[in-house]
Structure 1
Amino acid sequence: MARRPGGTAPATSTPVSSPGDDACESAGPESRLSLLLARHGGVTEAWIREALTASGVTPRHAIVLMHLDGGQLGQRDLGARLSVDPSVLVALLNALEDRDLVRRRRDPADRRRHIVEITEAGAAAVTKLDAAIGRVEDELFADLNPQERDTLHSLLARVRTAHGGACDAAPSTDC
């Protein structure tokens, strides 16, 4: 991957072949789509971490805040959306609550249920986080036109990333 202007590529990144480089398309790990996706994912994660460093939040914190930016959620519902263990969610929320970015409170209708909501400071942070992530995306996908970006988004949204799950059918059938 090309070095970013004003920054450096992570030390673990390796150059990505150019569109006309047929050597990598037919042999080696680059011929395996999953390995290519993993490498790009690692580079992307490193760049996002770097972009979020100034805000003091991790990518996981940013994802929590972005989910809550759409409105309050029950703590269990939030955990399900994030696909994280409840103990992991509590640790994430504790860190965000310590920084006054989220607030938890008991549901008045069901005292066993906790409601999680973003604070004003959290909403302001989301605006900054979204802009930082947008800059990373603009750089990562600079060689793709808007239609290609939409196609990539659509295809990646269909990639199965959970083992097992509700669908035990063959991969070629719909779940």
Structure 2
Amino acid sequence: MASERSGGTAPASSAPDTTSPCDEAAASALSDSRLALLLARHGGVTDAWIREALTASGVTPRHAVVLMQLNGGQLGQRELGTLLCVDPSILVTLLNALEDRNLVRRQRDPADRRRHIVEITEAGTAAVAEFDAAIGRVEDELFADFTPRERDTLRLLLARVRTTHVGPCDISPAADG
């Protein structure tokens, strides 16, 4: 991965690389001038590396996020969906897959039969430890050139990036008024 860190490509795959270094350099120079494109390029690389790291544990990034959230203790299913900003139907699909692998358990709340309680299992906790270490190795590679303070700053800045679309992107200058 070290040789790939600044190149903007995912780890080696079976597909042949048909792009020339000049093509990549030109595309990189153009996209590096726009923060959104730069973030998208690095996000794509990071996503590929994370997916590769999670392969051994057999979970997807979305499954990993659910398990990490539940690792702090049991939650109501609706509360979990709210915390994760996940549509209830998507959450059910994620939980079904995790439950099928005995990584989470759902049960009715004895105090309110309409409510489901979701908790991580022992196998789920073991999976979190395994993939958390794998994600840590990816982060160490991605941010090898960063100081701990720079990593903290990046974390704070990324937490402020708006990733929820609330309106049209094509706002005319007159509307800014």
Q: TM-score, normalised by structure 2?
A: 0.80
Counterpart of 1:42 in structure 2 is: 44
Contact 1:48 1:59 in 2 (8 A): yes
- Highest relative contact order (Cα 8 Å, sep 6+), 1 or 2? 2
In the TM superposition, residue 2 of structure 1 has moved relative to its aligned partner by: 3.2
Bigger helix share? 2
- Alignment correspondent of 1:127: 129
1:20-59 equivalences in 2 (<5 Å): 28-59=30-61
Q: Name 1:148's counterpart in structure 2.
A: 150
Q: Percent identity?
A: 75
2:101 maps to what in 1? 99
Unmatched tracts of structure 1, length 5 or more: 16-20, 166-175
Aligned length: 156
What is the CA deviation profile of residues 7-62 of structure 1, one whole-angstrom value per residue up to 9, with x for unaligned ones?
A: 934679998xxxxx9x989x622100011001111100000000000111101110
Q: Secondary structure at the match of 2:102?
A: coil
**By how many angstroms is 1:137 displaced?**
0.2
**1:18 corresponding residue in structure 2:** none
Paired with 2:103 and 2:42, the residues of 1 have a C-alpha distance of: 30
Counterpart among 8, 14, 21 of residue 11 in structure 2: 8
* Alpha-carbon RMSD: 2.6
SS at match of 1:116: strand
Q: Which residue of 1 aligns with 2:170?
A: none
Rounded Cα–Cα distance in structure 1 between residues aligned with 2:156 and 2:20? 26
Deviations 1:65-113 (A, max 9, x none): 0000000011011111111111111110000000000000001111100
